[in-house]
């Protein structure tokens, strides 16, 4: 006898890649598990849909970011899994991003970029950003890097960046630019990052020469169509969707949960132009390095770079040796290894996925290069650094 379909509601944005990834994670669980009788009955673009608007939806379960109205959501009388930073003692099982790890990763990136000061966007009413920024500030404090919140001001001062966006109030922050020592800007998400980049262009400030900008979510369309391309922290929203669906399935079937709150670490930094600071006075070397970092998750070789260079390979090789002390190929391998190290430290990706997402042509090339640099295998490195 066929089981009656279970109507599952999902509240997630599908206008952005990260929302679609979460939805696809839920769908992946539906098709790969015993929950093939799930019917995705309600997907709302508005993630802050009030509980009262869901009472007539006939849902058997709900996956949603619970910002408030806990009592009202509980009154729906259905299993619910929360997908945002929970309040203390949250009654709903939660699967969300590890916002502490996101904050620390962002701060570590700015420390590695040798910035002299970092500005960060402050949203005190959001539990997500409070948790993220607390870890972010603590890491910077431990490394002696000054930091300031972006303040809400009524009258923007001269030489201030004014950030005005559809989902952002008017914000400004003072900048004292010094080309020798850039400042960093940590944005709440990629959309805010694009707005910052647009304002930098409007004011004639150089990115990444004077200002380095980092977003969150790694929405590829948003990041790759920004000018310049935006670097971002990649969040594994697909896995969040998968695990949220698994938790909901357990609740529906009455199976005890192994954990009430699951926090998924970020996948790592995807470096693009906005953080690709190269301390080099040669524009051709700089352009080549930008290409390397922008395509680091793809396989390419020196010949691919030379297609965009107005000078010969021999001349470019000489300039790489002069300014960086290494060949073009060595610079490519070094960038790939840096990417692999980040993925090994910050994610649970399988090694075959690490070498592929670092652009190595095959696992043998990855292991050989890694062993030469570290004197240990990638597995040993991961065990020692996580």
Q: What digits encode the pLDDT tens for the residues 98-152? A: 999 999 999 999 987 778 899 988 877 788 989 999 999 999 999 899 998 886 5
Q: How confident is the model at residue 338 (pLDDT cuts 50, 70, 90)?
A: confident
* C-alpha of 216 from chain center: 4
Domains 6-97+237-269 and 279-385 share a fold: no
Domain ranges within the chain, ordered by starting residue: 6-97+237-269, 99-232, 279-385
Q: What is the pLDDT of residues 119-128, one digit of tens each?
A: 988 877 788 9
Q: Identify which of 290, 292, 299 has the alpha carbon closest to the alpha carbon of residue 366.
A: 299
Query: Is 170 a residue whose pLDDT tops 70?
Result: no
Q: How confident is the model at residue 184 (pLDDT cuts 50, 70, 90)?
A: very high
**Rounded Cα gap, residues 259 and 208, in angstroms:** 42
**Rounded Cα gap, residues 86 and 109, in angstroms:** 26
- Averaged over 259-266, what is the pLDDT? 94
Q: Given this model, what pLDDT does residue 154 score?
A: 47
The predicted model scores a pTM of 0.72
Q: How confident is the model at residue 166 (pLDDT cuts 50, 70, 90)?
A: very low
The CATH superfamily of 6-97+237-269 is: Response regulator (3.40.50.2300)
**Rounded Cα gap, residues 149 and 267, in angstroms:** 25
Q: How confident is the model at residue 328 (pLDDT cuts 50, 70, 90)?
A: very high
Query: Is 335 a residue whose pLDDT tops 70?
Result: yes
| Fold annotation for 279-385 | Arc Repressor Mutant, subunit A (1.10.10)
- Averaged over 363-379, what is the pLDDT? 91
Query: Is 168 a residue whose pLDDT tops 90?
Result: no
Q: How confident is the model at residue 242 (pLDDT cuts 50, 70, 90)?
A: very high
- Averaged over 339-368, what is the pLDDT? 88
Q: What is the pLDDT of residues 46-75, one digit of tens each?
A: 656 667 777 778 889 999 988 876 656 878
Query: Is 178 a residue whose pLDDT tops 70?
Result: no
The enclosing H or E element of 233 equals strand 231-234
Mean pLDDT, the chain, whole residue set: 84
Strand-pair partners of 232: 215, 270
- Averaged over 331-348, what is the pLDDT? 85
The CATH superfamily of 99-232 is: Response regulator (3.40.50.2300)
* C-alpha of 193 from chain center: 12
Other C-beta atoms closer than 10 Å to the C-beta of 278 total 18
Instruction: Name the residue with higher pLDDT: 257 or 4.
Output: 257
Q: Given this model, what pLDDT does residue 89 score?
A: 80
Q: Identify which of 262, 237, 263 has the alpha carbon closest to the alpha carbon of residue 23.
A: 237
Q: Given this model, what pLDDT does residue 282 score?
A: 81
Least confident residue range of 104-118, 240-254, 279-293: 279-293
């Amino acid at each position: 006898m066929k089981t009656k379909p279970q109507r599952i509601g999902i509240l997630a944005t599908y206008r952005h890649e990260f929302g679609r990834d979460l939805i696809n994670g839920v769908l992946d669980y539906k098709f790969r598990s015993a929950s093939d009788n799930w019917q995705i009955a309600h997907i709302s673009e508005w993630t802050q849909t009030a509980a009262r608007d869901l009472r007539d939806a006939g849902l058997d379960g709900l996956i949603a970011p619970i910002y408030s109205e806990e009592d009202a959501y509980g009154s729906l009388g259905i299993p619910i899994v929360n997908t945002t930073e929970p309040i203390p003692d949250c009654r709903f099982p939660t699967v969300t991003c590890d916002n502490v790890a996101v904050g620390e990763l962002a701060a570590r990136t700015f420390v590695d970029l040798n910035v002299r000061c970092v500005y960060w966007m402050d949203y005190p009413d959001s539990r997500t950003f409070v948790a993220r920024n607390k870890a972010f500030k603590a890491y910077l404090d431990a490394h002696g890097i000054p930091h300031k919140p972006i303040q809400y001001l009524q009258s923007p001062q001269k030489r201030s960046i004014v950030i005005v966006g559809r989902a952002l109030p008017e914000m400004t922050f003072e900048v004292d630019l010094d080309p020798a020592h850039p400042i960093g800007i940590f944005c709440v998400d990629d959309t805010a990052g694009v707005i910052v980049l647009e304002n930098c262009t409007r004011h004639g400030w150089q990115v990444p020469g004077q200002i380095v900008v980092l977003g969150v979510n790694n929405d590829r369309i948003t990041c790759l169509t920004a000018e310049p391309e935006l670097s971002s922290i990649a969040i594994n929203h697909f896995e969040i969707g998968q695990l949220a669906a698994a938790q909901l399935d357990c609740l529906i079937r009455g199976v005890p949960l192994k954990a009430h709150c699951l926090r998924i670490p970020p996948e790592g930094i995807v470096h693009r132009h906005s953080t690709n600071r190269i301390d080099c006075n040669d524009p051709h070397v700089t352009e080549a390095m930008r290409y390397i970092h922008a395509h680091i998750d793809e396989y390419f070789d020196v010949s691919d770079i030379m297609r965009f260079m107005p000078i010969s390979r021999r001349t470019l090789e000489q300039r790489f040796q002069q300014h960086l002390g290494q060949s073009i190929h060595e610079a490519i391998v070094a960038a790939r290894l840096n990417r692999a190290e980040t993925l090994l430290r910050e994610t649970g990706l399988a090694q075959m996925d690490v070498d592929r997402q670092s652009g190595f042509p095959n696992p043998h090339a990855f292991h050989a290069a890694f062993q030469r640099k570290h004197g240990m295998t990638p597995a040993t490195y991961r065990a020692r650094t996580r």
